[in-house]
Chain A
Amino acid sequence: MFYIWSVSCQQDNNIAKLEKTIWREKQVVFYILHSMIYSFAFTIHIIISTITLLAGISTIVMSVHGLIKRREYTRSDLALSVTFNVALYFQLILGFLIYYLLRSHPEGSIWKVPNTQNDASLRFWAIEHIALMIFALFLTQLGRVFIKKSKEPFRKFRASLFYFGTSLFLILFSVTMALFFR
């Protein structure tokens, strides 16, 4: 009787050990996957941000050119503004993914460790970035609607300059903040 009990006890113990190793393995796999997705998302985020910046700058240059030369609003102008807007939408999705991954990571180490003593201003960098970019996205979306609804090319270029210009200003502001404070 006692023998049976002890055997079953041992078996239980073995099963518990096995479960623990499985759980650990699962944990490791989760860590690796998590880190992979994170670094992948982050890389794409950076690549798209370059595209966004280029599209934004060329949109502004084209609209200034259009305003000065008084030319027609062409398909390439439209394509550039749409690229700008759509890239920002992608950034929003990726950004929220990254934000979620950062917060949910079991190993907090991916949070970049601030290395200076006075880091109060840095604590909210992510939040400031998110808020600024969402406003920039809204502006580009409104600008697109405005351009679509306007008829004269002059008004289209003016709306394009105003909305995309303000949006680009917000983006550049955030970028400089990231470059100089981080």
Chain B
Amino acid sequence: MKLLTKSTLLTATLSLFLFFIMGVIFFQVLKNMSLSTLDRELGDLKEVVEDHMLETDDYQNLSLPGIDSLVVLPVERPVQTGVIFGDSVMRDLKDKQFRTFRYLQFNKAKGDQYYLVTIFKSTNPTDKLVEQVTLMITLMVILFIAGIFILNRFIFGSLWKDFFEAIEKLKRFEKTKEPVILGEQDIQEFDELKRVLEVMTRRLANDYRELKEYTDHTTHELQTPLAVIKSKTDLLIQSDKLGAHEMKLLEAINTSVHQLSRLNSTLTLITRIENRQFTAEGEIRLDKLLDRHLELLHEHIELKQIKVEKHYNDGGRVILMDQGLADLLVANLLKNAIVHNSEGGTIILETGPGSLIISNDGPPLTFDKEELFTRFVRDTKRSGNFGLGLSLVKKVCETYQIIIEYSFEDQRHTFLLNLPD
């Protein structure tokens, strides 16, 4: 969930509850207030009625301002003592509707005669007020929450702008490896974040640069002495003054030097790929590329009596890649499929609209699947390779945003390459 969404939702929820509690309190207070106001008014009217009753005897036609209805009943003896407040319903003859009334009942003695007096007052105006205010409060919540959504968007956008900028710069750090330097921060927390990020990324960038330089230098500087050793051993082998025992030793030295030189050149290649020194992009057809490399490797294939099945379904799709790197990628994958194949096994090549699948028979891996693409991880029983081939493949894939997946099922190793659009 996004920060903005979560903060808005939580604010909305909390304010909803606040509004609800406020609404309930407001409603109750308003209700009680309207009731007590009505009762007080009735109390005032009672005095007015009592005054009028002293002056006149015609009670039935007594009409006074503020009183909606007045009933005066002559009774033999007082029915009740004191004053009674109550609610009642009456049918309005004018608009034929039931209306609620608040009434006040009291006893009044005049001479020997007792009267039961009831004063009615309509609750309609106050009810309407309470009703409308409550409805308004309820509907105001909608407006309020809409307001929160809009305000939050603005406030949030301006407050967290620097934070999102920092995240963007950190994302770019992955590619550029340049220290993340943020602008002046207004908010204290972001200022701290800025300082921590700067220190951290600067150190990371430094470490990375030093490591790169070290690899660059060593691979480069190793080349000259290696070339010297190679040429000198060649010269020594050609000399005829050596015995059989010395020749054996020289042979061993020669093999090791050749291995070392190959290792050095592969490492140089990896460094060059990492430094993005291959930028030339050419149009490459996958099926032609595969066929060419199969042709180059056909001796090895025949030697191990491997059958090759080809399923080209990409419709002659063209991908943009450096020619050298494309060769490197396919050659390494095919070599891998041949070397680790069992005697008389099969290789299946399959291309789709956005994928390349290379699978071969073979015994399961002796190490963890996760370490397959890391450098110098190899099957310890086999010699002669350094476990750098798949590492190269991985590097090339990373350069061109190709996703490579490995799986092992039914004694088959499968590499799936998802090509980008």
Contact = CB atoms under 8 A, between A and B. Distances in A.
Question: What interface size band does chain B fall in?
Answer: 35 or more
Interface in B131-172: 131, 134-135, 137-139, 141, 145
A54 B165 CA distance: 48
A-side interface size class: 20 to 34
Contacts of B12: 142
Interface in B213-234: none
B182 to A, nearest CB: 29
A154 to B, nearest CB: 13
B16 interface: yes
Contacts of A139: 13, 16
A96 to B, nearest CB: 10
Interface string A104-118: 001111010110011
A131 B95 CA distance: 29
A127 B23 CA distance: 12
B86 A117 contact: yes
Interface stretch (B59-67, B96-104, B202-210, B283-291): B96-104
B109 interface: no
Nearest to A114: B89
Contact of B23 (A111, A117, A131): A131
A108 B90 CA distance: 11
Contacts of A42: none
Contacts of B89: 113-114, 119
A111 B98 contact: yes
A48 interface: no
A97 to B, nearest CB: 15
Interface in A125-139: 127-128, 130-131, 134-135, 138-139
B131 A127 contact: yes
A139 B2 CA distance: 20
A107 B96 contact: yes
B127 interface: yes
A146 interface: yes
B16 A142 contact: yes
A149 interface: yes
B100 A130 contact: no
A173 to B, nearest CB: 11
A4 B100 CA distance: 54
Contacts of A107: 96-97
Contacts of B50: none
Given A118-B86, A119-B89, A131-B27, A113 B98 contact: yes
B130 interface: yes
A108 B95 contact: yes
A107 B35 CA distance: 27
Contact of B134 (A113, A118, A127): A127
A142 B31 CA distance: 30
A122 to B, nearest CB: 9
Interface in A150-182: 150-151, 163
Contacts of A5: none
B130 A124 contact: yes
A75 interface: no
Contact of B5 (A114, A149, A163): A149
A87 to B, nearest CB: 19
- Name the residue in A108, A111, A123, A163 with the highest tally of chain B Cβ atoms < 10 Å from its Cβ: A123
A106 B95 CA distance: 8
Given A108-B95, A124-B31, A138 B87 contact: no
Contacts of A145: 5, 9
A118 B35 CA distance: 12
A120 interface: yes
A150 B87 contact: no
Most chain A CB inside 10 Å of its own CB: which residue of B23, B86, B89 = B89
A135 B20 contact: yes
Contacts of A142: 9, 12-13, 16
B127 A124 contact: yes
Given A113-B89, A128-B27, A130-B135, A120 B35 contact: yes
Contact of A131 (B92, B138, B145): B138
Contacts of B9: 142, 145-146, 149
Nearest to B130: A124
B244 interface: no
B3 to A, nearest CB: 11
Contacts of A124: 27, 31, 127, 130-131, 134
11 contacts: A107-B96, A108-B92, A108-B96, A114-B100, A118-B86, A131-B137, A135-B138, A138-B141, A139-B16, A145-B5, A149-B5
Given A117-B88, A131-B134, A135-B141, 5 more contacts: A114-B100, A117-B86, A130-B138, A142-B12, A149-B6
Interface of B: 1-2, 5-6, 9, 12-13, 16, 20, 23, 27, 31, 35, 86-89, 92, 95-98, 100, 102, 123, 127, 130-131, 134-135, 137-139, 141, 145
Closest 7 CB pairs of A and B: A108-B97, A149-B1, A131-B138, A119-B87, A120-B87, A127-B131, A134-B138
